[in-house]
A and B are shown apart, each in its own frame.
Chain A
Amino acid sequence: MNSASVVFIVDDDPSVRFAIKFLLSTVGITAECFESAEDFLRRKPSSAPCCVVLDVRLRGLSGLDIQAELTMKNIPIPIVFLTGHGDIPMTVRAMKAGAVEFLTKPVRDQDLLDAVRIALDRDRARLEQEMELSLLRQRFGSLTSREHQIISMVVEGMLNKQIADHLGITESTVKVLRRRAIEKMQASSIADLTRMIDRLKKTSEKNT
């Protein structure tokens, strides 16, 4: 498993914290323990793939409160809930809000490890996507405004000749600019480029 990943354990019982951390260490996963929701929310944000194993019943803010807080702050950290006795409404609420798993104590080691693994995979995928996206943004940002224009026309399916007509430049200039833009975007094909631009568009729409 990726050594850079980290699991946060939030439980007010030191024994449970120790046990979970110990269990995770046997499969080579690093864990960080927090006694309360407040301590956990105060932690420094991590750029590595991570997830949190959260006891529902805590002193102060409950595990469900943490979940709400994270959602509100738009922190997409995957959550594995652990509870002494969970009723169905509580479980439904947690899962609906995007929890990876809702486990009851005492928990089977394999269930916990599976849940943690799913959570970490999910976070890693998310991070990779974000990384790729920021790379794309960076590349897109390096284009000149003329290259932007041409690329958006290419993606719309316009031919070089049409683009040249539209912009009032020669076809050979279009070709040069187009090639340069594709190189800068590091796209393998027009289809690849279209996919890139689509992604950029989608995320920018989502953000606005």
Chain B
Amino acid sequence: MTTHRASLNGKWSDNRWTNGDTSPGIDPISIFDAIEVPIVVVSCDFSVAGFNRAAAVLGLTASDIGGACLDVPVLAGLPRLGQLCTQAITDGVESRADLRDGEKWFVVRISQYTRSDRQVAGAVLTFTNVTAFRASVNQAIYEREFAKTIINTVANPLVVLDGDQRIQSGNRAFYAEFGLSRDQTKDIPLYDICNGAFESAALRRQMGDVFAGRQTFQPVEVDLILPAKNQRTFILDAQPVSFQGHSERRILVSLQDITARKQAEMAKDLRSEEELRRSEAFLVEGQRLSLTGTFSWEVGTQKIAGSEQFYRIFEFDLGSPVTITEMGNRIHPEDIMLFNNMIDDVRGGQGDFDYECRLRMPDETVKYVQVIAHGSRNTDSRLEYIGAICDVTARRHAEEEVREGEANAEQRLRLVVDCAPVMITSTRPDGFVDYFNKRLLDYLGLSLSDIEGWNWLSSVHPDDAPGLLEKWKMIVELVKPEEYHEARVRRFDGVYRWFLHRAAPMYDQEGKIVRWFGTALDIDDRKNAEEALRRSEAFLSEAQRLSLTGSFSWQVADGNIAWSEQLYRIFEFDHDVPVTLDLVSARTHPEDARPYQEILDRLRRDCSDFDFEYRLQMPDRSVKYLHVIAHGIRNENGRLEYIGAAQDVTQRQEAEAALATARSELARVARSISLGVLTASIAHEVKQPLTAVTINGQACLRLLAKHNLEPEVLRPALEEIVANATRANAVIARIRAFIMKAPTETDDLDVNVVIHEVLALVGHELQRNCVLLECKLAELPALVLADRVQLQQVLLNLIMNGIEAMTEIADQRRVLRVESEIVDSGDVLVTVCDSGVGLGSETDRIFDPFFTTKANGMGMGLAVSRSIIEDHGGRLWASSNHPKGAIFSFTLPGACRNDS
């Protein structure tokens, strides 16, 4: 083996094949290298002996020579190489193996290598590249499988026929749909399956033509009865199929189930037809009646389908189901027969109908409706009425009114005339009155016969009758219509009222007067108003005089002043002198000149209203108070004008001043009345300093007790004590001064007048407490020399005490008696008696200061009163009244006694 290899080696040159054993003319190496199939020679010891040039594609290199063949990567990829080589070398068995080298596929043939001397020298491996072949085979397999899958996945049944139109194969859908198996159908003519449903001469002929390639197939519809699905309709299409390389032709038949589509189309056709039929009917009916509801009624079913308007007319709830019975319930009872007849006719199939009937709504209103319907048979060949219904109530009413109107026109006119708010008469051309309307007769309370002709004059006021008659005659004779005349006419109750009388002629075609129409309008209220106005104007001027009010107007721009008569009087101007602003201003009181001028300036500046009071000074230096109110307007020319009124309020002002004086006096008195309240205040004022004195003193004593004698602590306290003691003293002095009101202003007074003054003050109190006042005063003036206010204070005190003493008396009359008399000594005696609780056992103490029986009193009133009276040289005492109450009396020395 070694020699073989060595010799072989030796024979190959250029690291490849060096064959010394060369035949002349043939170079085995070049032949070997020229073969494009890679060849590798493996020696008996499985080493690589050599390879040709083509083997380079396998990646063999010179360095592989002499190496173990299994070390060469590409050879190592050959399964069972060693075994195959051994078989080849030892047994001469040739074998094949598939080798994959990257993308390439090879078929390796391993055969024995014998040298020319027939010696087995090893194995020869030839590598046939089968890559392309292999790929094409794979593709074919793949495509076949793919087609098969697609065909089987197609939902439509597919079947392949041979030239005799016998079934060769079908797809899954075919077998499943037709409930057949492959074996059952193999070589069975198409026309034998499905009970020969495919049998048709036309189909056979078409198939034949298609197979022969004479024409393309026109799809045909085939109705089949399938085991699971009853009747189905298919579209059958066919086309010839030929396979490359095969002379045989086949026909591919596809079947498409169009049953559902067919049914849907049919249904759609049916439905749209139906709808069209209906809508046309609706439309037709709708055109015939406007404002119309439509309905349909399938006679067999009771049920009525209605449009919105239909529901509205019948006043059914929109959308609720309506039956013919419900419809019947709405029919007016008087028309129900008609309705029922109609229904019977309809049920009997009596064609179309058109009639009017009345409906009665739940609220009793009546409607007129017109119904038009047209009967037809629908697809179910059921009788159906399609119709329209129109509410014609308004039209009917209008028609009725017209009819009525025509019949009653004359009657109505009379009614109108009678009802008219004016009095109407109708007169013959000569003036003879032959008609009075009802209103006029009612007014007069007479009948036509009473006043016919010229008798009506008796109803006219005697003062007005001649004038009216004259006028009337003039109108009639001269034919002067539209003349007015006012005259009073007696009413049925004898009252005369003013009327405006008028007459108008009625002409015939020739222009001749055939009648006169007269009207009389009640103008009494207007007449009265006019009268009232006239009177009120008169009143106004009178009122101005009485109220001392004058009116004026003042045009600012040109200074024109219109002055009423009363203003002349107030300003004491001479009537002949034209009033000017200067003249008016000159009357202004000097003290009011400035405010007057300010107001005047303001009025000139802007258009405003004003309301002010100022004083006038007359030439005799007397003063008048004037209250002026004015309203500013801009007239058409935009000019400012004031219109106003001025009132002489001098008297009022004087009264007010007097009142103010009285008030201040009253205030003084009132201050005395509130003595009770004052005492509380007084007590506080006194107690404050006393408290300070006490506490400071006590605190000092405490310090002394503790021997704490620091002067800076004690001094301020002691100073406070002194200051407060002084203060208390001052308060007391003030109170005394207040009560005694020194110095006393004595004057000759009539006690009776003072009593009246005080009673005027307490009038309200008396009334409030329901106290009856009995006053019995001296007839002559009871003159005394006294301080008016102090005397008032005493009287007030006594009277108030009396009133208060009676507030708790509920069961008896409360009587307060005030008396005055001049006693024999010439003194004046005044007594105030009440019927109150009385004095009890306290009579002696009541004049003590601070004695009180009242919850709110301070007990000062009587003490003060007594001191006042005693200051005046009089006496004040109390005694009991019988059966109840107290009497307070005082005397004052009479002033007259001094004179006498």
Residues of A at the B interface (CB closer than 8 Å) are 13, 15-16, 18-20, 22-23, 25-27, 57, 82, 84-85, 105-109, 112
A83 CB to nearest B CB, Å: 9
A15 to B691 Cα, complex, angstroms: 9
Known contacts A19-B695, A19-B696, A22-B699; A105 and B720 CB within 8 A of each other: no
Which residue on chain A has the smallest CB distance to residue B724? Answer: A15
Q: List the 9 closest A-B pairs by CB distance, nearest first.
A: A109-B698, A15-B692, A19-B695, A106-B694, A105-B691, A23-B699, A84-B684, A84-B687, A106-B691
Known contacts A13-B692, A106-B694; A19 and B699 CB within 8 A of each other: yes
Question: Would B703 and A26 count as touching, CB distance under 8 A?
Answer: yes
Which residue on chain A has the smallest CB distance to residue B856? Answer: A87
Interface residues of B, count at CB 8 A: 25
Known contacts A13-B692, A85-B683; A109 and B720 CB within 8 A of each other: no
| Cβ contacts under 8 Å, B662 to chain A | none
Question: Would B689 and A85 count as touching, CB distance under 8 A?
Answer: no
A27 to B684 Cα, complex, angstroms: 28
* Chain B, interface SS category: helix
A151 to B847 Cα, complex, angstroms: 78
Q: Is B702 an interface residue (CB 8 A)?
A: yes
Question: Would B698 and A105 count as touching, CB distance under 8 A?
Answer: no
Which residue on chain A has the smallest CB distance to residue B701? Answer: A109
Interface string of B580-609 (1 = CB under 8 A from A): 000000000000000000000000000000
Known contacts A18-B720, A26-B699, A26-B703; A57 and B684 CB within 8 A of each other: yes
A22-B696, A26-B703 given. 20 additional CB < 8 A pairs? A15-B689, A16-B695, A18-B716, A19-B694, A19-B699, A19-B717, A20-B695, A22-B695, A23-B695, A23-B698, A25-B699, A26-B702, A26-B708, A82-B691, A84-B688, A85-B684, A105-B687, A109-B695, A109-B698, A109-B702
Residues of B at the A interface (CB closer than 8 Å) are 680, 683-684, 687-696, 698-699, 702-703, 706, 708, 716-717, 720, 723-724, 727
Which residue on chain A has the smallest CB distance to residue B727? Answer: A15
Question: Would A108 and B698 count as touching, CB distance under 8 A?
Answer: yes
A108 to B697 Cα, complex, angstroms: 11
A18 to B692 Cα, complex, angstroms: 8
A133 CB to nearest B CB, Å: 38
A83 to B691 Cα, complex, angstroms: 10
| Cβ contacts under 8 Å, B698 to chain A | 23, 108-109
5 contacts between A and B (CB under 8 A): A13-B688, A16-B695, A22-B716, A26-B706, A108-B694
| Cβ contacts under 8 Å, A25 to chain B | 699
A15 to B702 Cα, complex, angstroms: 19
Question: Would A112 and B695 count as touching, CB distance under 8 A?
Answer: yes
| Cβ contacts under 8 Å, B690 to chain A | 105-106
| Cβ contacts under 8 Å, A16 to chain B | 688, 691-692, 695
Which residue on chain A has the smallest CB distance to residue B855? Answer: A87
| Cβ contacts under 8 Å, B688 to chain A | 13, 15-16, 84, 105
**Which one of A15, A26, A57 contacts B720 once the chains associate, using CB atoms below 8 Å?**
A15
A20 to B720 Cα, complex, angstroms: 12
Which residue on chain B has the smallest CB distance to residue A27? Answer: B702
A57 to B394 Cα, complex, angstroms: 89
| Cβ contacts under 8 Å, A19 to chain B | 691-696, 699, 717, 720
A156 to B228 Cα, complex, angstroms: 86
Which residue on chain A has the smallest CB distance to residue B690? Answer: A106
A80 CB to nearest B CB, Å: 13
B786 CB to nearest A CB, Å: 34
A112 to B695 Cα, complex, angstroms: 9
B409 CB to nearest A CB, Å: 89
| Cβ contacts under 8 Å, A82 to chain B | 691
| Cβ contacts under 8 Å, A26 to chain B | 699, 702-703, 706, 708
A58 to B488 Cα, complex, angstroms: 83
Which of B687, B693, B724 gathers most chain A CB within 10 Å? B687
A85 to B859 Cα, complex, angstroms: 15
A26 to B689 Cα, complex, angstroms: 20
| Cβ contacts under 8 Å, B727 to chain A | 15
A22 CB to nearest B CB, Å: 5
A115 to B99 Cα, complex, angstroms: 130
| Cβ contacts under 8 Å, B699 to chain A | 19, 22-23, 25-26, 109
A127 to B716 Cα, complex, angstroms: 35
| Cβ contacts under 8 Å, B691 to chain A | 13, 16, 19, 82, 84, 105-107
| Cβ contacts under 8 Å, A105 to chain B | 687-688, 690-691
| Cβ contacts under 8 Å, A84 to chain B | 683-684, 687-688, 691
| Cβ contacts under 8 Å, B680 to chain A | 85
Which residue on chain A has the smallest CB distance to residue B684? Answer: A84
| Cβ contacts under 8 Å, B702 to chain A | 23, 26-27, 109
| Cβ contacts under 8 Å, B692 to chain A | 13, 15-16, 18-19
| Cβ contacts under 8 Å, A22 to chain B | 695-696, 699, 716-717, 720
B801 CB to nearest A CB, Å: 21
A187 CB to nearest B CB, Å: 46
Which of B684, B688, B695, B696 gathers most chain A CB within 10 Å? B695
| Cβ contacts under 8 Å, A18 to chain B | 692, 696, 716, 720
Which residue on chain B has the smallest CB distance to residue A23? Answer: B699
B793 CB to nearest A CB, Å: 24
A82 to B690 Cα, complex, angstroms: 13
Which of A25, A82, A85, A105 gathers most chain B CB within 10 Å? A105
| Cβ contacts under 8 Å, A13 to chain B | 688, 691-692
| Cβ contacts under 8 Å, A23 to chain B | 695-696, 698-699, 702
| Cβ contacts under 8 Å, B689 to chain A | 15
B711 CB to nearest A CB, Å: 14
